[in-house]
Amino acid sequence: MIKRTLPALSRASTIGWIGLGAMGHPMALNLFTKTYLAHQNAGSSVDDRRYVICEFDENRVSSFLSELKEKGGSELVGKVERVENGKEMAKIASRILTMLPSTPQVENVYLDSTSGILSGLKEISNDTVGDVEGNGNAIENISSSTTISSGSSEPASGSGSVSETTKTKPPLDSLTTISPLTTSSPPASSPHTLLIDCTTLSPTSALSIASRIHQDTSGKAMMIDAPVSGGTVAARKGELTIMFGSPSASITDLALPLLRTMAKEGRVVDCGGNGKGVGVKVCNNLILAINQIALAEGLSLGRSLGIDPGLLHNVINTSSGQSWSSRVNSPSPEIPGSPGERGYSGGFQTRLMLKDAGLALEAAAVLDLPIPMTWAAKSIYEAVCREDEGEWASKDFSIVYEWMKKKQSEGVERGWKADPTET
């Protein structure tokens, strides 16, 4: 077990990560490794940067550290400390990222009165922050005081625009260097803590939590919601799409370099204020949930009609029925690399899609918006999650195709509805 050694840490130069699950593990790997390599390539003789993790599962911690050592070496692993909760992390890290299951966990990690991040922030006075950081209360970061480049001599862009900065500041890789800008450090009134939550949660809750953080710390801690899309495959490659909601352009500037370590070039999208990033993600997953079921219905009908699965796959993907689900996430076992071919292991779990459908319905209910297809999709994913004594809940959500085949073999449709040819 890693033990925290508080005196060894400089708060201003410490990045923390909470949650090393299926998505958090590869995302934190990219963030830690690429940030570390960038500073190494910058040629600084002194690197006091540290990395902090918070994860209850010992197996997850061991797996993470083992892979981190493979990618970044023993020296990087030696810079990693471990804490027990968000409160402890808030005291020693100026930048904290979280990837958690859903709304209840986010509320607990950030707002719990005894162990939450906010409770730790409340114990940090300006003087204390200065003592821990040795640098006043400003965040030392690879953003407002640095520019990211891939060995290019291009001048740094001063714009906070995502569309412009992604052209001149590509994601970090092993060749990335960090060059100081000539601009001054952030003013003394700058926030001392940046919080980035990558969880997909309720949009209203995301806004409420951020507002509480901002208000209770008098703006000394600022929060961004930055959910991701692309699944575990893109997370490992560092090619996620990240859609974020930020309270201001200056906070966006602080967050962008960190987000780019985990995203595909040009795929970090500014969606507006707090809660808007999560809102975009929930809308996207609402559509995805319905599309995957529609694909399963079409493929099931095709199979029942005796149509060759490969032929149907190709026609769909060159016709108006195509979607991400049909191109990338086909349940047909005949399609190489498909979830169906690998027995639906890995991928985006059915229980998580059920959760996201519920979040969409929750958001719509607040707005009195009818979304009947989402209600139908949620009921189907609920049924899928109950199959095989709950085992299907952890399978890729495209397993809904197998659920339809199973219900067909059980003759369920004949019991549900009358002959559709009758009028």
Question: Residue 90: which domain range?
Answer: 6-274
- Per-residue pLDDT reduced to its tens digit, 397-423: 999 999 999 999 998 776 555 455 554
Confidence of residue 87 (pLDDT cuts 50, 70, 90): very high
Which of these three, 274, 297, 325, is where a domain ends? 274
Residue 214 has pLDDT above 80, yes or no: yes
281 catalytic? Reply is yes
The DSSP secondary-structure symbol of 395 reads S
What is the total count of domains within the chain? Answer: 2
Residue 296: pLDDT band with limits 50, 70, 90: very high
For the residues 25-45, what does the mean pLDDT come to?
Answer: 88
Q: Which of 274, 305, 335 delimits the end of a domain?
A: 274
Question: Do 88 and 121 fall within a single domain?
Answer: yes
267 three-class SS: strand
Judgement on whether residues 257 and 393 belong to the same structural domain of the protein: no
In a domain, 1, yes or no: no
Domain contains 299:
yes
Average pLDDT over residues 75-87: 96
The rounded mean pLDDT for the chain is 84
Is residue 171 domain-shared with residue 296, that is, in the same domain? no
Which has more confidence, 368 or 178?
A: 368
Q: What would the mean pLDDT of 109-131 be, rounded to a whole number?
A: 82
Burial class of residue 419 (count of CB atoms within 10 Å of its CB; 0-12, 13-18, 19+): exposed
Last residue in a domain, options 274, 291, 321: 274
The pLDDT value given to residue 346:
83
Q: What is the pTM of this model?
A: 0.79
Long-range contacts of 384-392 (CB under 8 A, 24+ apart): 384/350, 385/350, 385/351, 385/354, 392/344, 392/350
pLDDT of amino acid 154: 34
Whether residues 314 and 364 share a domain: the answer is yes
Whether 385 is covered by a domain: the verdict is yes
DSSP H or E segment with residue 303: helix 276-304
In a domain, 399, yes or no: yes
- Note whether 167 and 300 are same-domain residues: no
Instruction: Flag whether 423 is in a domain.
Output: no
Q: For position 173, what pLDDT does the model report?
A: 34
Is 422 part of a structural domain of the chain? no
Same domain, 318 and 242: no
Q: Are residues 137 and 235 in the same domain?
A: yes
When mean pLDDT is compared across 180-184, 208-212, 348-352, 410-414, the lowest value belongs to 180-184
Check whether residue 71 and residue 195 sit in a common domain: yes
Q: What is the CATH number of the domain that holds 325?
A: 1.10.1040.10
Are 201 and 332 within one domain? no
Catalytic residue of the set 79, 169, 281, 355: 281
Phi, psi for residue 268 in degrees, rounded to 5: -100, 110
Average pLDDT score over residue span 76-104: 96
Burial of 384 (0-12, 13-18, 19+ CB in 10 A): buried
Residue 15: its pLDDT value, please?
A: 97
Please check whether residues 341 and 240 belong to one and the same domain.
no
Assign 233 a pLDDT band (cuts: 50, 70, 90).
confident
Q: Do 231 and 337 belong together in one domain?
A: no
CATH no. for residue 19?
A: 3.40.50.720
The torsion angles phi and psi of 113, rounded to 5 degrees, stand at -70, -20
Q: How far is CA 373 from CA 175, 288, 380, 412, in A?
A: 47, 12, 11, 21
User: With 50 as the cut, is the pLDDT of residue 144 above it?
Assistant: no
